[in-house]
A and B are shown apart, each in its own frame.
Chain A
Amino acid sequence: MLAITAGGVVVWAVWVIAGFACLASGLAVVSFTNPFYSALALIGNLGSLAVLYLLLSAEFVAAAQVLVYAGAVMVMFLFVTAYVGPRHEPPWAGGPSWKTLAAVLAAGAIFVEIIVAIGLTAGGRLRTSPEVGSVFGSPAWIGRLFLTDHLLAFEITSIVLLVAAIGGVILGSHTRRAVRGEMG
């Protein structure tokens, strides 16, 4: 399994670092009490994921991840977090409650289940992956797919975005007047 070539070693090393960063930042997101730090951890997570995508020959997706997700979505997050102001969740007083324990168990169960599911269904066939051409994962290739095989998904996604934009505007505007009325 270990391809002892220079390329192989580098890939392995990059994978280990990126994977580790991914896992660590994921845990960090759910652990920090300050939402600002959690958001920053998420940005780190997104970055490491982009690296993993590159390792999987998904270049366009990696770029989109960094540009859209980390660049736009997370910025919005940080804006709102800053607007809302510093908030400190009450400390984990008196040790983890039963709800936390249940949540840990649930998350663990999900993790184990997914692994088992994958193992049971695909098991041996996942050992080796076939070759893919150089066009695989390129922007041109993705674009062609979007406009031919997956046109419907493309269009519907755009509608979803439109609806979300409208929803966001509405959520943002009306409350101002209502709040005024209540306070006045």
Chain B
Amino acid sequence: MLLGPGVVWYLGIAAFLFATGAFGVLVRRNPLIVLLSLEIMLNGANLALIAFSRHAGNGAGQIFALSVMAVAAAEVCVGLGLVVAIHRRRLALDVDALSELRG
């Protein structure tokens, strides 16, 4: 018996997180913050997965969520490596300025 609000409310939060993360990715210019917004989106998805997993009684949702976490870690690793490399080159940390693949 699920106490508290129904699964739908969790899904609502997940949707809101996802939308917020999307907004952040579209609006912010600092690549670090873009990566953080990306994390928000992934977390939103995770929450939805867990909610459905609880609703269906199926463990696959939680497994998926754990995989998402692992992949998010990997992606952040590479992304931050890029940020460090950019910083080393003395380039501006601004996604609008980094518009050409050169060098």
Identify the A interface with B (CB < 8 A): 1, 3, 7-8, 11-12, 14-15, 19, 22-23, 26-27, 29-30, 32, 35, 38-39, 42, 45-46, 49, 52-53, 55-58, 60-61, 64-65, 68-69, 72-73, 76-77, 80-81, 83-84, 87, 89-90, 99-100, 102-104, 106-108, 110-111, 114-115, 118, 126-132, 136-137, 141-142, 145-146, 149-150, 153, 157, 160-161, 163-165, 167-168, 171-172, 175-176, 179
Contacts and interface: CB of A to CB of B under 8 A. Distances in A.
A139 B92 CA distance: 45
B16 to A, nearest CB: 6
A145 B59 contact: yes
Interface string B66-78: 1101111111111
Contacts, number: 244
A144 B93 CA distance: 44
B74 A29 contact: no
B19 A87 contact: no
Contacts of B85: 171-172, 175
A89 B27 CA distance: 12
Closest 5 CB pairs of A and B: A164-B74, A30-B24, A171-B81, A11-B4, A103-B26
Given A19-B13, A68-B69, A107-B20, A11 B57 contact: no
B63 A38 contact: no
**Residue of B1, B12, B59, B82 with highest tally of chain A CB at under 10 A:** B59
A161 B22 CA distance: 25
**Residue of B4, B85, B93 with highest tally of chain A CB at under 10 A:** B4
Nearest to A19: B13
Given A111-B16, A142-B66, A150-B63, A99 B8 contact: no
Contacts of A52: 10, 13, 47, 50
Given A81-B32, A107-B26, A45 B40 contact: yes
| Interface footprint category on B | 35 or more
A104 B20 CA distance: 9
Given A26-B20, A80-B83, A55 B4 contact: yes
Contacts of B24: 29-30
